A and B are shown apart, each in its own frame.
Chain A
Amino acid sequence: MKLIRFALSLLVIVISGCIFATKAWAFCGFYVAKADSKLYNQASQVAIAHSGKKTVLTMANDYQGEVKDFAIVVPVPVVLQKEQVKIAEPKIIERLDAFSAPRLVEYFDEDPCRVDENRAYNGAPMPQAAPAPAASQRGEVSLGVTVEAKFNVGEYDILILSAKESSGLETWLRQNGYKLPQGANQLLKPYIRQKLKFFVAKVNLEKFDQSGIEKLRPLQIAYESPRFMLPIRLGMINAKQAQDLLIYILSPKGQADVTNYRRVKVPSGEEVPVFVKNEFSDFYTSTFANSYDREGRNVAFLEYAWDMSNCDPCSAEPLNQDELKQAGVFWLNGSEASTRSMPPIFGRPMPEADAGVFITRLHVRYTRDKFPEDLMFQETSNRDSFQGRYVLRHAFTGETTCQEGRRYTRSLPRRYEKEAQTLARLTGWNINDIRKKLPQVQKLSWWQQVFLSLVD
């Protein structure tokens, strides 16, 4: 009987094993339009500097509509005062993006006849970072609503609201001229019951016109709370399709981990055909989409994890201390500063000023059905470095006269084919289309092939 039970269990395991074997970016709040503009937030980027219970959250978004229509509602754990909210430099998110973006590296094969002793094409010349892909184009009391704080920061008018009932909050927002998306009521309720406050920002047109800026700048908020999370559920209400969110988590300790979803590394380190250099954005978009589908659309992707004092290869200059502070890093001059700075083993070391910041870049593409819960994080002491990195190896194209050279030339088609297959596997592109773009190799005559194979 026990044997049968054991065999049955084993069978279930084998079957489940078999099943397994076969098998524009977004925002943490929602936009509430004040007019009937159709707003879909497809792209947003968030930087979170976090240590212990302290968090500095910088929210940038790719809002496309009329400035006067812009408004957001973001659940926050505590009531924020004016000094806890500021405008961040718009460049800072671009800098974080550029520094941590998936990258191409190029190697150039040397003349195989010149360096016979080290089999040239296995050598490892200094890599050069090819340009990173473009950054992701990317009656109050009776309603139970209390205005906890009201102030102005830069071009924004900010309200911090707390509410007792979601219907009251919804009514209040509507009465005050905010147009809420359908279904907002149901989504607001869980946040109210968890005693979260609401950070409501809209554009003060007068200030906006005075400032002379063209695009809305990122908002940065600082608070202290044991909650280390990012509300994404509200963001889903504006979007009809999957939304992308890039999260840069800065920590003095090490990598940040998502605790309620699986975290998966994007494919990395693969050799791809050199023509990818001209279409890297397409390549990465397809590779990401392919991994997203393959992993079941319910994981958070790790695109980069590195100590910010160095990089190898660098897709952009590491951020200096001022820039890190602009990104919200608050521990650099304090007692927590550089407690865990890593000796610069990789790449070029940077001045000690940048020590003690570890960046984790997470890329989450989410939809309502696959991401029912908000994202929860934890900081870990994991100091492993990781980067989304793709390798181009340029073949030696000069004339080869020695035997090693002929062997090298003969090996190229096989290498190109392998790169083509890798590319097809990563991106899901048609292998025949890829093959058409491969470099043409000087064809050997049949007797050259026979003789060379004899020499091998």
Chain B
Amino acid sequence: MALQPQDKVFPLLLLLCALTSILVVILVGVFVFLQGYPMLAKTGFFAFLLGRSWQPGEGVYGILPMVVGTVVVTLLSLLIGVPLGIATAIFLAELAPDRVAAWTRRSIELLAGIPSVVYGLFGMVTIVPMVRYIASNWFGAWLSPEMKTGYGILAASLVLAIMILPTIVNISEDALRAVPREYKEGSFALGVPHWQTIVHVLLPAARSGIIAGVVLGMGRAIGETMAILMVAGNAPALPRSIFSPVRTMSGNIGLEMGYASGSHAQALFATGIVLFLVIMLLNGFALLFTGRRAVRTP
């Protein structure tokens, strides 16, 4: 049968669509690097990364406080979110009756769909006052005034822990379900109780998938901007306790890009470069563990 013209034209159009994502990634890389590079070249990459002072008015740009802020908030949110997420994944994959599992999964899906500004608002009105209460009433004697506002590391980590739950639950559940049935049956046949089987057979077998889920949750936590801006207090200073207000790297960009110009804008783009590199490293790491698609649709 002779090929009709549309059989040649359409595949070409479709190929162009498919190439769009390559184009976008290249453009994102090129434009962010072009804008941020002059700042890195001028101050030096490590001087920029490890500079303790961020004073755009004085032309002093160091993002160490933001790097530390990002790391601390991310780790604390993982500390809270990962156990809860993995436990929920075990529940869904092993313990829940079908109906209950379906409803739980549905709630987690909703949790993933809630806009981050809504999380931020919830944080401002519910979590921040809670943290403020704890800070002033339980630890009041040890804390300086700016640590008693409620806005800070702890509030941001609690909000973030909730936000990364869906990622961790979904990927861990998939990993647990991907363990071959024979492992479980073999363990049962040896008379090992269900819980022992979960801990000693299923979890180790699903380890790499679960780690990938945690790493992706971490990626989400590092990239999150809005919710953190609303609850973290945003002071560009090194934190001294988990009640201290902090600013994250993404928060730094979101907060100041609106009015920045000149070298200030360059410094924010340079912050973007650091963020970009960190995420790429993390995704490479997740890819190593799964050997398949790194990032999943939320």
Do A and B come from the same complex? Answer: no
What is A's interface to B at a CB cutoff of 8 Å?
A: none
What is B's interface to A at a CB cutoff of 8 Å?
A: none
